[in-house]
Amino acid sequence: MGIQLSFQLLVAIITAVLVLTALSMSRGISQASKLVEKQTQISSLSSCNFYSGKWVFDNQSRPFYNGTNCSFMDDGMACQKFGRKNLSYLYWKWQPNDCDLPRFNATAMLEKLRNKRVVYVGDSLNRNQWLSMVCILESEIPNHLKYVNYNGSLVTFKAIEYNATIDFYWAPLLVESNCDDPSYHRVEERIVRIDSIEKHARIWKDADVLVFNSYLWWRLNLKVLWGSFESAYAKYEYLGMLRTYELGLQTWADWLDTHVNRTKTRVFFVSLSPTHNRGEDWGKANGQNCYDETEPISNREYWGSDSDPEMMKLVEVAIKKLNEKSGFKVELLNITQLSEYRKEGHSSIYRKHWDPLTKEQLANPSSYADCIHWCLPGVPDVWNHFLYAHLLYL
């Protein structure tokens, strides 16, 4: 009897060992398979032009989040809250010609950003993109483990469990100007201190990821200041839009080259976000704009008259020179052409109006439509999808 029990025990032990070995091998094969799959995906994405493609209607996987549930939604972008009934703008997915973008996994993104700091630096369109990222990520975080803090030009979203920080910093011209107050920047005469950036840059010097944009504010007639705002001997002059923009980008690039730790920090520049203020660009009557638009533009060759290719070229040149000079890599998120098609994606009249609307405005809604900023969820989610792909796969 004792021998029989010992034999049965031995068989049980051998069986258990074999089962555990099989499970371990299966797990190892599964992990290896996932690794090969990810390497294949990385290879595909690295050779893919994300920005050449088309918008595809997809009401299964879009939107990434429910805008009405986003804890930190801005009333300037909350189109559903302010009465937008046509919601088809929520369901358009950007499909590159050469690849499929990886599924946006908010938890994976948070894990990638654990113990890191991301800073979006720029104007209100970059704030539009920052808020998009916040809404995507915060939907996966319990209320007691997240918060947003406002401190002048700096707005901070904190994911406490991950010790991840995602900031927005208001610097519409990147360099110093008299438009730097986040609340009171609508001045009559706009002045840019073209060779001074340290006032802003010291705030985001330690970031792990920097996401810059700057375009629309340079389209104004800026006066260039040489010297300080306080100096009685400062010199002022007008240099023209392109030259002024070029000098501002040079100051930005020089600062990056000197101060950013290139082994730690990844730097991105988001190309110009198009406006849709001129309806005649896509066949509407003069004086019309994005108001009451419900479908994207289907003409693949469309390019709006407010989008300046010369200014885009200056960004590309500044990035290229920085790379050639010292090997510093700035990654361009070229969102312009794909966003050109989305005339129906703007906040339009579906937002909070800070000043009471007049009878004349109410009689002509296009007169107060915002055709610059974007509804959320919406187009900026795609810009962040590109950022996600870069950070997790490239």
Q: Which residues contact 291 (CB under 8 A, 6 or more apart)?
A: 348, 349, 365, 366, 369, 371
370 is catalytic: yes
Q: Which of 74, 373, 381, 385 is catalytic?
A: 373
Q: Which of 123, 124, 167, 273 is catalytic?
A: 124
CB 321 within 8 A of CB 367: no
d(Cα 335, Cα 251) in Å, to the nearest integer?
Answer: 24
Task: Let me know if 124 is a catalytic residue.
Answer: yes
| 251 close to 195: Cβ distance less than 8 angstroms | yes
Enter the tokens of residue 169: 């910093």
DSSP string, 46-101: HT--TTSEEEEE-TTT--SS-GGG-TT--TTT-TTTTT----GGGGEEEEESS--P
What is the 8-class DSSP label of residue 368?
G
Read off the tokens for 83: 């009465």
User: What kind and span of H or E run contains 176?
Assistant: strand 176-177
271 CB contacts (<8 Å, ≥6 apart)?
Answer: 213, 215, 312, 315, 332, 333, 334, 335, 336
From 123, 281, 370, 381, the catalytic residue = 370
Active site residues: 124, 370, 373
